[in-house]
Chains A and B, each alone.
Chain A
Amino acid sequence: MKDFMFFFRGPGDLTLSPEQSQVQMQKWLNWIQELTAKGHYKSGAPLSKDGKTLQGEKPVVTDGPFTEGKELLGGYLVIKANSLEEATALAFGFPDFDKKCSLEVREIMEIPAH
């Protein structure tokens, strides 16, 4: 088993009614539940919207994440899977495709021993 990261990107300002929020919430809970039940779930966390960006040879600090609002990195999951293909298949459960959100799957490389 290898570890993979799911990065979630999308607009940070969804406008949903309470009932819609609840429906969306439940879809996530079900997805995470399924990943957990099958032993794929390792960890996950949301990322705060507040952030700083440091850039340049003499680093300049700017407020906020660097990408456009609509591509805000909202959080990540760490998933256990046998291959990139399997991890990608699991990613199809992501509930926010219809909310203009996207997901990036990346393998976490193991650092080879000396």
Chain B
Amino acid sequence: MEEGSHQKLVDHLFRHEAGKMIAVLTRVFGIHNLGVVEDTVQETFLKALQVWRYGQLPDNPSAWLMRVARNQAIDLIRRQQKLADLSEELVSLIQSDTEYVIQQFFLDTEIADSQLRMIFTCCHPDLNREDQVALTLKTVSGFSIQEIARALVSSETTIQKRLYRAKEYIKKHSIQFEIPVGNALQTRLETVYIVLYLLFNEGYHSVKADELIRYDLCAEALRLCKLLAEHPQGSRPSTLALLSLMCFQASRFDSRIGEDNAIILLEQQDRQKWNQDLIQSGKYYLTQAATGEHLSVYHLESAIAAEHCLAPDFHSTNWQTLLFLYDRLLELKPTPIVQLNRSIILAQTDRLREAIDTILNIPDLDHLLNHHYIYSAVLGSLYGDAGETAEALRLLEKAYELTSSLAEKKRLAEKMKPYAGYCHK
């Protein structure tokens, strides 16, 4: 062993390798044998732990793991064949071919292919959204049940139930472990986008989960999206648009939260802290995404994020461009939250009254104001800007009650201060 050589494993190497091994072995043993597959992966890591720790890491840890997994698969199949009620001649013929056949599954291109199959299986449209998310994290990303529970701010029992339910469904309905073809591919990709974007947002917006695991989630969603983008079947303009959106959002990850855990608004964020590499990647992928005839919501959301990321400071933000983009987005995605965000842009373009009216026109607004703090917070602060202090105070107080985030409470309290002298009761 060389003196002074520092041996460090690549961050999350085991998790990523677990995802690869599970995907390849599932292709070998079938999705109905996911239990066998998971045991094999577990044994592979145990072996690595046993062997590597006494001296040196192998030159290529990743290849080492795959080789061990492959050999375990071959052993397992040979044992099965011995048990089968076949003539000795046939068994020996089959066995001599096993090694060659199994090796084909472990070729790099086939690994990527298997991983994509796994993503499509985990994000099968017939599964519940929450089951898709849990199963993706478990089998594609190599998260443990405990880690998934932490990431999704849920209990281990709940996650276990979701995984069980998903696996049973797949088995019972013989869901195929495959990459869909033809028209089905586009529809199935849509579900994959939703799950990946959800994973990313869980990490990006969760105020409950701890910082480390939130970061892991975002990084993982980005990695999977990249995996999709790098595969001939997955590389569509929408995939690249989603990937660019994640890059732009992730570039601001570190500057959104202050030292005292308070949320820092876009206007106050230190733009020096934004990750320029990620912004450049975002730009690159967005340019790549600009082909074809289909304009996806991810194209628009990424263009919006790009506008923010590329503005040198808050005041140079091109609000007119943003408004244009939000108008288009609203056509594709007429949801309350898009309306709300569009109203913030309106307010920035000196159309405060119109901004307030836009929010007031959101269907079922009362329900939203009473259940989701963000609506009360935004409308309240717009009323404040318009000088309607009583309404402002009433809504900001409502938002204060609704949010469980201490950072948000702190921010809202700041906002209410100027109106504190005004008693509305």
Q: Please choose the segment from A37-45, A58-66, A81-89, A104-112 that sits at the chain B interface, where 4 or more of its residues have CB less than 8 A away.
A: A37-45
Q: Which residue of A lies closest to B54 (CB)?
A: A44
Contact A37 B18 (CB under 8 A): no
Q: Please choose the segment from B9-17, B124-132, B283-291, B341-349 that sits at the chain A interface, where 4 or more of its residues have CB less than 8 A away.
A: B9-17
Residues of A with C-beta under 8 A to B48? 21, 25
Contact B144 A19 (CB under 8 A): yes
Q: Which residue of B lies closest to A26 (CB)?
A: B9
Contact B14 A46 (CB under 8 A): no
| Residue among B6, B18, B52 making CB contact with A18, cutoff 8 Å | B18
CA separation between A77 and B53, bound complex, in Å?
Answer: 10
Residues of A with C-beta under 8 A to B18? 18
CA separation between A111 and B151, bound complex, in Å?
Answer: 58
Residues 37-94 of B contacting A (Cβ, < 8 Å): 41-42, 45-46, 48-55, 57
Does A14 interact with chain B (Cβ within 8 Å)?
A: yes
| Residue among B12, B53, B142 making CB contact with A25, cutoff 8 Å | B53
Does B157 interact with chain A (Cβ within 8 Å)?
A: no
Contact B14 A18 (CB under 8 A): yes
Contact B54 A75 (CB under 8 A): yes
Does A17 interact with chain B (Cβ within 8 Å)?
A: yes
| Residue among B1, B8, B49 making CB contact with A24, cutoff 8 Å | B49
Does B3 interact with chain A (Cβ within 8 Å)?
A: yes
Contact B7 A17 (CB under 8 A): no
CA separation between A22 and B147, bound complex, in Å?
Answer: 14
Does A16 interact with chain B (Cβ within 8 Å)?
A: yes
Known: A25-B48, A33-B7. A19 touches B53 (CB 8 A): no
| Residue among B6, B13, B17, B42 making CB contact with A33, cutoff 8 Å | B6
Pull 17 A–B residue pairs with CB atoms less than 8 Å apart, ordered by A: A15-B42, A16-B46, A18-B41, A19-B14, A19-B147, A20-B144, A21-B14, A21-B48, A21-B49, A22-B13, A28-B52, A29-B9, A29-B57, A33-B7, A45-B55, A46-B50, A77-B54
B residues near A (Cβ < 8 Å) are: 1, 3-9, 12-15, 17-18, 41-42, 45-46, 48-55, 57, 142-144, 146-147
A residues near B (Cβ < 8 Å) are: 13-22, 24-26, 28-29, 32-33, 36-37, 41, 43-46, 74-75, 77
